[in-house]
Amino acid sequence: MKKSTRIIIASVITLLIAAVGFYFVLPALNPYSQEFWICVLFLIAIWGVAYALLGAKGEAKVIGKKKSKFSLSELKGSDIKWVVIAAAVPVAVLLIGNLISSTFFNAEAYSEIIEVKEAVFEEDMPETDTVTNIALMDTDSATVIGNRTLGALSDVVSQFEAGYTYSQINYGGAPAKVTNLEYVDFFKWMNNKDTGIPGYIKVDPVNSDAEYIKFSAPMKYVESAYFGDDLQRKLRFEYPTKIFDEVTFEIDENGNPYYIVSCMSPRIALFGAMDVNEVIIFNPVDGTSELYSVSDTPSWVDNVFTGYLASQKYDWYGMLGNGFWNSVIGNKDCKVTTDDFGYIIIGDDVWYFTGVTSVSADESNIGFIISNARTGEYKFYSVIGAEEYSAMQAAEGEVQEKGYVASFPSLINVSGEATYIMVLKDSGGIVKLCALVNVENYSIVATGTNQTEAKEAYVKLLLENGILKEEEAPLPDENSVIEKDVTVSEIRTVTLDGTSVLYITDADGVLYKQSVSADESVMLIKVGDIVTVKYTDTDIEKIKQMVSWSEKEKTE
């Protein structure tokens, strides 16, 4: 076969393999993507093998009982040279590109990727009676509750399953975790592709409940679909040069579904400091999309930067400010984030929360950062105290006989005291208790079956330890407290997850509950007493949460 013919056929074979590979692998056709150069190297190797095989020669010889033999002609020296030169190009780009993009040569540039504002904890995070802006439930627990909600829908669960990830969003000013349904397998997709994905699951991470919500129009493009309906394939064909990072499911304020796709580009040299520079808002119902710069992203979008990227950028800032070698050897003024992060709703945005610890003293935090998931803004709070995992262990130790596991905490303000708040869950991932741990002194731990009980017990511990004075103790919101005279017809004491709770029933059959640890004097109440109770409503109509009580003065 002529050399020119071999070149043409080898090139056609390579192009066909490249087309098939692009359809399935979906690499970004972008020289700033390392995956792109790996694919180029792979295709050069394919071309070289095809060219060599096309030049193979064989001959059959029969000598006595010997079988035929086959010999493969070798590539000529000039052919080998050009294949090696071609292959050396992507290899050189990868090696040199990574070298010139490394922190070794660009420590200062990495440390200046972000700006961090110093902020005042008490001003940015005022005290509230009940925490409604923090996702106390983690994703694992949300998955358990979401699957149970879906399992109750027999007509849906037989064809669909909940998505693998839950997105943290701000919905109506409150935190919510959402995931769309996905096809169970290829055959379920075949059966349902014409009608599409019917709905999504929304989990309330504050009150630990979930609901299935049906879309007004079904989704066509999802990650579990196939061929042209596959979400990643649809996005890649629409944006072949974009380097995708996270693809996040969200709903807008009207409940319409969208995928938020973060697009990356290097901030340093060829591959260094990959950061989000653009955002695709993709409509999975009709397949339309719009491309925005980060600064122009609509305010209803919550997830542009991931928590992992936010932490990584702060680590560059905290570790490399005094040069590369200092980050390796001296560690002067080096600081890093802790290994995980939580979520806080501030205004219209979702913010990531994580502690900051000195590299040389990782048992305590020197402060905390929050990072805006949409804009990438950073704030630092200088609050010294226990790091998150120490607080989690302290909360778990409070109920160690139960074997509960703490979720990653967040930070709240209780009478000016920086306080970790977290939930404790059982082995099945179900939330059982709420826990509060003092940041400066993590031996001060309070638990309760809900936030109100935990906070009452926590404030009592602050008073007992002299951290708070009586006049500094928080008072309930007067607008939510109701005062009423009741006649006690029945009393019961119940221990829930290690916490004693007193229930009294009035003549109308209404229950009033109070944690004994929050106010031991409730044990003095007797059947037949007429008492004045102050209470707030709970989610259950017939149960009231007592704030305080006093014996009704008897009149002749």
Which run of H or E residues covers position 394? helix 388-398
Highest mean pLDDT: which of 29-33, 53-57, 160-164, 465-469?
Answer: 29-33
**What value does the mean pLDDT take over residues 215-223?**
95
Residues 397 and 514 in one domain: no
pLDDT of residue 273: 96
More confident residue, 468 or 73: 468
Q: Indicate if the pLDDT at residue 67 is higher than 60.
A: no
Tell me if 170 is assigned to some domain. Answer: yes
Residues 198 and 230 in one domain: yes
pLDDT of residue 64: 52
Q: Indicate if the pLDDT at residue 47 is higher than 60.
A: yes
Q: What is the largest CA-CA distance in the chain?
A: 131
Per cent of the chain over pLDDT 90 is 52
Residues 143 and 282 in one domain: yes
Which of 48, 73, 100 corresponds to the end of one domain? 100
pLDDT of residue 347: 83
In three-state secondary structure terms, 542 is coil
Q: Indicate if the pLDDT at residue 32 is higher than 80.
A: yes
Residues 154 and 271 in one domain: yes
92 Cβ contact partners less than 8 Å away, ≥ 6 residues apart? none
More confident residue, 209 or 126: 209
Residues 240 and 209 in one domain: yes
Tell me if 398 is assigned to some domain. Answer: yes
CATH of the domain at 500: 2.40.50.140
**What value does the mean pLDDT take over residues 196-212?**
90
pLDDT of residue 66: 52
**What value does the mean pLDDT take over residues 512-536?**
83
Q: Indicate if the pLDDT at residue 539 is higher than 60.
A: no
pLDDT of residue 283: 97
List pLDDT tens digits, range 377-432.
Answer: 999 999 899 889 999 999 999 888 888 999 999 888 888 889 999 999 988 888 88
In sequence order, what are the beta bridge partners of 344? 134, 351
In three-state secondary structure terms, 160 is strand
Tell me if 428 is assigned to some domain. Answer: yes
Residues 328 and 422 in one domain: no
Tell me if 110 is assigned to some domain. Answer: no
Q: Which long-range contacts (CB under 8 A, 24 or more apart) does 43-49 make?
A: 43/14, 43/17, 43/18, 44/83, 44/86, 44/87, 44/90, 45/87, 46/13, 46/14, 46/17, 47/10, 47/11, 47/13, 47/14, 47/83, 48/75, 48/83, 48/87
List pLDDT tens digits, range 220-250.
Answer: 999 999 999 999 999 999 999 999 999 999 9
Tell me if 66 is assigned to some domain. Answer: yes
Tell me if 132 is assigned to some domain. Answer: no
pLDDT of residue 546: 76
Residues 275 and 160 in one domain: yes
Count of structural domains, the chain: 5
Residue closest to 341 by CA, chosen among 370, 372, 380: 370
Provide the H-helix boundaries in 279-327: 307-319, 324-325
pLDDT interval class at 468 (50, 70, 90): confident
Residue closest to 424 by CA, chosen among 456, 457, 452, 454: 454
Residues 278 and 333 in one domain: no
pTM of the model: 0.81
Which of 450, 472, 494 corresponds to the end of one domain? 472
230 Cβ contact partners less than 8 Å away, ≥ 6 residues apart? 221, 223
Q: Indicate if the pLDDT at residue 161 is higher than 50.
A: yes
Residues 467 and 535 in one domain: no
Q: Indicate if the pLDDT at residue 70 is higher than 50.
A: no
Per cent of the chain over pLDDT 70 is 90
Left (φ > 0), alpha (ψ -120 to 50) or beta: where does 269 sit?
Answer: left
Tell me if 95 is assigned to some domain. Answer: yes
Q: Indicate if the pLDDT at residue 556 is higher than 50.
A: no
Among the ranges given (147-156, 180-189, 298-307, 349-358), the one the predictor scored with the smallest mean pLDDT: 147-156
Q: Indicate if the pLDDT at residue 81 is higher than 70.
A: yes
Residues 369 and 443 in one domain: no
pLDDT of residue 502: 84
Tell me if 274 is assigned to some domain. Answer: yes
Residues 162 and 57 in one domain: no
pLDDT of residue 72: 47
Among the ranges given (42-46, 78-82, 490-494, 500-504), the one the predictor scored with the smallest mean pLDDT: 78-82
Residues 468 and 429 in one domain: yes
Q: Indicate if the pLDDT at residue 126 is higher than 90.
A: no
- Average pLDDT of every residue of the chain: 87
Domain that holds residue 191: 139-304
